[in-house]
Amino acid sequence: MSVVPPMMAVPPMTEQKPTPEQPLDKDWWRGAVIYQIYPRSFQDHNGDGVGDLVGITERLDYVADLGVDAIWLSPFFTSPMKDFGYDVSNYRDVDPIFGTLGDFDRLLEKAHSRGLKVIIDQVISHTSDKHPWFAESRQNRTNPRHDWYVWADPNPDGTPPNNWLSIFGGSAWTWDSRRMQYYMHNFLTSQPDLNFHNPDVQDAVLGDMRFWLERGVDGFRLDTVNFYFASLGLESNPVVKPEDFNASTAPAVNPYNFQEHLYDKSRPENLEFLTRIRALLDEYPGRTSVGEIGDSQHQLEVMAQYTSGTDKLHMAYTFDYLGGAFDAGHFRKSIDLTEKDAPNGWICLAFSNHDVVRHVSRWMSHGDRDAFGKLTATMLLTMRGSVCLYQGEELGLTEAELAFEDLVDPYGIEFWPQFKGRDGCRTPMVWQSTAHLGGFSTAPRAWLPVPGDHLLKAPDLQEKRNDSLLHHYRATLQFRRAHEALVKGTIKTLDAPEGVLMFTRTAGAETLLCAFNMTGGPLVVRLPDGIGVRGIDAPGSIAAPIGDGDLDLPAFGGFVGAVL
């Protein structure tokens, strides 16, 4: 397989040229709402049971009508699909499963014509073992790419050089008989880690990113952005006591939690490389970056480092809300710590994505899930930061319960049954309640089963109900866009009864008060002394007294109003 030279220019395809009527907003990302699309599961156009780029293009009107600002596409690059696209073998082409470069160009053009920015996943901490770089690197210790990956000699007894663990289970080291050395992999054995201490690796990766910038993409979601560098000293990680375990990055049954990952990720050397990424993006006005930070012990500290100033990432997200409890105290603590530790940074908020149990199932096992979905939507869209919505959460899709024989995720297969993996949140999107496979595909079977209860939440049914969750998301997105305080304003948490999250958002002369009852029973909330509010017809908000008074919040009820 040939690889295009790293710095080869590509003719711009759909470069957006601002007009005098629509000047380019370089900070469009700040407070933007980004809709994540998992390509395998969004829409299958060619009938093979797997979603593709043409299918996504066909559904962009639905996404644009939600009122979001951008889409994030999970990986669609050439890959053996051992980790379903997060193992890339060619960063500059589309895997035939998903289509062609021409299909991508047409998707980009359609998205831009509908006012949607396009962010694509960049999985650069590691490659597939089928990537030509690794095929060359593993041949011997003297080839031109011999040090493009993290290689290490064994201990005298033949064991791996240290105690580093893979998130997917077992050692982070695999023996290679060609070189008589171990190579490092934070994930599958088929996902070797690149050696970012080598400037040639950095140049090659940045060249691949330039390829897509020239093609017209609006930014990158950087997978495992804190995993790029490992310590050259290969020191073993210290032990974490069981009482100090934090399972937000890995499930509780994973021994990965037994270590404090001081030496295999979140290294200080990463900061300099992030400035190189930012310098590249700054060559293309209006482009952005959002990093995924997986670090249980130091995630807010790392986020603060990575997003501070104007020379590193534009924004980042942690697993605070993707893995934490649905608890008002936890939310307030996270907001306060973010404001304290990263006052000049910018967080990207998410409750669900392709790696975690869907939040409606994760946080609520029974009861009125539609009411709960409306509450969480309003909470997410009123907190400070940019927002990522995961496909189907606007429908209230729940985590799919799959049989072991239906699993394809190697992570779930390894840790079954205590941890069932990521397949349950990746099942195909549904579009029509009575159509075969919910309108996702005409194939006899989809790559993952379509749950029967998801059909009852299909858009064609929700469109007919004015009180549906889908309409609530649209209305709340419209409400958010109409209030600068919610898009780019400051945030300040307020004292409230246990189970209630309350804060203000302020921009200019506007201050909004937001209060959310995160419990299953009604609560009365006394407004802080000297604060009066009036209702402003926020979607799903209760009626509130004008001036000082109490808020009577029903179970999973909320209020958003203007401070007088």
Q: What is the DSSP string of 90-133?
A: EEEEE-TTT--HHHHHHHHHHHHHTT-EEEEEE--SB--TTSHH
Residue pointed to by tokens 């929700």? 462
DSSP 131-168: SHHHHHHTT-SSSTTTTSB-EEPPPTTS--SS--B-TT
Q: Where are the domains of the chain?
A: 33-126+201-227+247-252+265-409+423-479, 489-563
CA-nearest of 309, 494, 487 to 384 is 487
Tokens of 146: 């011999």
Tokens of 188: 């599958």
Cis, bond preceding 417 (omega within 30 deg of 0): yes
Distance CA 483, CA 539 (A): 13
Tokens of 96: 């035939």
State the DSSP code for 32: -
Q: Reduce the DSSP state of residue 478 to 3 states and report it.
A: helix
Chain centroid to CA 50: how far?
A: 21
Give the torsion sign (CA, 454, 460, 465, 468).
positive
Distance CA 179, CA 137 (A): 9
Res 21: pLDDT: 54
Res 3: pLDDT: 31
Residue pointed to by tokens 């990302």? 29
Res 11: pLDDT: 38
Please list the active-site residues: 223, 283
Res 301: pLDDT: 87
Tokens of 409: 């995720």
CA-nearest of 38, 40, 49 to 98 is 40
How many Cα atoms within 13 Å fall on the side-chain side of residue 306?
34
| Residue 202 neighbours by CB distance under 10 Å | 19
Tokens of 452: 């029967």
Tokens of 170: 């077992």
Torsion of CA 305, 310, 313, 315, to 10 degrees: 90
Tokens of 216: 């017209």
Tell me the mean pLDDT per 10 residues along the chain, length 564: 33 44 84 98 98 98 98 98 98 98 98 98 98 98 98 98 96 98 98 98 98 98 97 97 72 90 96 98 98 83 92 92 90 93 91 96 87 97 98 97 96 93 97 98 98 98 97 98 97 97 97 96 91 91 81 94 94
Tokens of 356: 């975690």
The CATH class of the 489-563 domain is: mainly beta
Distance CA 87, CA 188 (A): 9
Give the torsion sign (CA, 482, 484, 488, 492).
negative
Contact status, residue 37 vs residue 240, Cβ threshold 8 Å: no
| Residue 80 neighbours by CB distance under 10 Å | 15
Distance CA 327, CA 314 (A): 28
Distance CA 464, CA 470 (A): 10
Write phi, then psi, for 306 (nearest 5 degrees): -75, -20
Q: CATH homologous superfamily of domain 33-126+201-227+247-252+265-409+423-479?
A: Glycosidases (3.20.20.80)
Contact status, residue 341 vs residue 24, Cβ threshold 8 Å: no
Distance CA 426, CA 412 (A): 12
Chain centroid to CA 72: how far?
A: 8
Distance CA 5, CA 12 (A): 17
